[in-house]
Amino acid sequence: MALNKKPVTGMKDILPEEMVIREYVMDIIRSTYAEFGFTQIETPCIESLDNLNCKAGGENEKLIFKIMKRGEKLKIAEAKEENDLADGGLRYDLTVPLVRYYSNHSAELPNPFKALQMGNVWRADRPQRGRYRQFMQCDIDILGDASNLAEIELILATTTTLGRIGFKNFEIRINDRRILRALALNCGFPEEKLDEIFIILDKMDKIGTDGVRAELIEAGFDADKVDSYIGRYSGMQEADDPVAYCLDYLGDTLEEGVADSFKEIISSVKAAGGDHYKLVFDPTLVRGMSYYTGTIFEVAMPEFGGSCGGGGRYDRMVSMFTGQSVPACGFSIGFERIIMLLMESGFKVPGSASRTAYLVEKGVDSETLVSVFKEAASEREKGRQILVVRMNKNRKFQKEQLTAQGYTEFKEFFKEGLK
């Protein structure tokens, strides 16, 4: 019986053309984040099911690829439910593993700790075009810094990286969970309904203020409160300076320092961040994950409908492992979307080294063979790319194929020696 040549459902093989682009982008990511003082770390791809099911994963917790117990621990006859049979799972993001890692090693790590992670994650999502069940994530996080230096550094590092990859004219949308909450609470909505409200608010992009108003009323919220709430958002849309309008309105219903800190993030990023993107206050930005506690942000690319990355502050996650709060803030690049955009735009990696193919005829004597490899070695020592390959009978066709692969020079070694 022949084996199955296809990758498992929903996962993909990466072909050389895509791999060249991925490596190029990863190089820029590594070198740029290093300039910002981020250090790379890695955690195992498998985490315990208890950790993965800690509620910080939200909907992703339903999509875990579970690892079966092994040996004596696997008791099939006695098993009642999935978790009797499994003890681990493939990580669905890099945040839960990072927080575990930091909790485990904080004594050995710098404080604040600036981490860069690039690694695969797995989600047993319904397969669909352009979305795979294994994909790369690329996260930077700062742990142990409660100040807004963390947010500013994360946004500058991410936007500098995106700029060096070649992206222009994108937007960073920024908001703060505390602003989001204060706006809703000030309009009289109850604490326990906030998540429901935010899910509707999040659709502002697609359905506009009228749509959001209609959905809130349909959901049973009091029309007066809804109108007051929608009024604030209309006000911000029309204001010359929406940040000032919003923060003035909220006044001291915001915790002390939140408004100033938010304004500083915006002014510092605008001043230092370059003109290849815009930083925009988006009071409707929600970001799905429930663990965010402060600033939140998202990358929006004109070439692409959805988000190409995002993040925010999550000051209460480390305490799930250690019992002690540690301030934390992170920014994740939508690596796979970026690669997809580059592939679709016909992007070519700039300035690859010249490539030479040595075609060696079958039956060359051992002495000639030795000279081929000596010459190749000395060229490679200079950093040149040399392919040593058997000469085909149809040399012309072989050279055409090699030219298509990027080989620009050829050298031929025949049976009687170099012709």
Q: Which residues 282-341 are close enough to bind its own copies by CB under 8 A?
A: 320-323
The verdict on 350 binding its own copies (CB under 8 A) reads no
Q: Read off the tokens for 61.
A: 């917790």
Which of 79, 199, 219, 418 is close enough to bind its own copies by CB under 8 A? 79
Which of 354, 369, 408, 417 is close enough to bind its own copies by CB under 8 A? 369
Q: Which residues contact 405 (CB under 8 A, 6 or more apart)?
A: none
**Cα(259)–Cα(245) distance, rounded to whole angstroms?**
11
Interaction residues for its own copies, span 93-132 (CB under 8 A): 100-101, 103-105, 108-112, 114, 120, 122, 124
The verdict on 41 binding its own copies (CB under 8 A) reads yes
Contact 32, 164 (CB under 8 A): yes
Interaction residues for its own copies, span 140-199 (CB under 8 A): 145, 147, 149, 152-153, 156, 160
The nearer residue to its own copies, 193 or 270, going by C-beta atoms, is 270
CA nearest neighbour of 86 among 122, 48, 56, 127: 48
- The label of the residue with tokens 């984040």 reads 33
Which of 169, 253, 290, 401 is close enough to bind its own copies by CB under 8 A? 401
- 3 state SS of 381: helix
Q: How far is the CB of 340 from its own copies (least distance, A)?
A: 15
Q: How far is the CB of 82 from its own copies (least distance, A)?
A: 7
Which of 67, 185, 244, 340 is close enough to bind its own copies by CB under 8 A? 67
| Type of residue numbered 188 | G
**Cα(195)–Cα(217) distance, rounded to whole angstroms?**
15
Interaction residues for its own copies, span 234-273 (CB under 8 A): 260, 263-264, 267-269, 271-273
The verdict on 366 binding its own copies (CB under 8 A) reads yes
| Cα radius of gyration (the chain) | 27
Which of 28, 65, 209, 414 is close enough to bind its own copies by CB under 8 A? 65
The nearer residue to its own copies, 193 or 348, going by C-beta atoms, is 348
The nearer residue to its own copies, 2 or 351, going by C-beta atoms, is 2
**Cα(89)–Cα(253) distance, rounded to whole angstroms?**
43
Where does this chain touch its own copies (CB under 8 A) — which range of 225-233, 236-244, 288-296, 401-409? 401-409
Count of CB atoms situated within 10 Å of the CB of 99: 26
Residues in a beta bridge with 143: 113, 328
Count of CB atoms situated within 10 Å of the CB of 165: 19
Kindly provide the residue ranges of all beta strands, DSSP E only, lying in 123-179, ordered along the sequence: 134-143, 170-176
The verdict on 390 binding its own copies (CB under 8 A) reads yes
Is the sign of the CA dihedral 397, 402, 404, 407 positive or negative? Answer: negative
Q: How far is CA 193 from CA 35, 125, 188, 209, 216, in A?
A: 43, 28, 11, 19, 11
- Spatial strand order of the sheet with 295-300 comes to 39-40, 113-122, 134-143, 328-333, 307-313, 295-300, 170-176, 277-281
Q: How far is the CB of 209 from its own copies (least distance, A)?
A: 32
The verdict on 5 binding its own copies (CB under 8 A) reads yes
Element (H, E) at 388: strand 385-390
The verdict on 389 binding its own copies (CB under 8 A) reads yes
Which of 51, 158, 284, 295 is close enough to bind its own copies by CB under 8 A? 51
Strand pairing category for 355-360 and 409-413: parallel
Interaction residues for its own copies, span 204-233 (CB under 8 A): none
The nearer residue to its own copies, 43 or 209, going by C-beta atoms, is 43
Q: How far is the CB of 157 from its own copies (least distance, A)?
A: 9
Taking residues 126 to 145 in sequence order and writing x for each that binds its own copies by CB under 8 A, - otherwise, the string is --------x----------x
The nearer residue to its own copies, 23 or 248, going by C-beta atoms, is 23
The verdict on 54 binding its own copies (CB under 8 A) reads yes
The verdict on 28 binding its own copies (CB under 8 A) reads no
Element (H, E) at 390: strand 385-390
Interface with its own copies (CB under 8 A), residue total 113
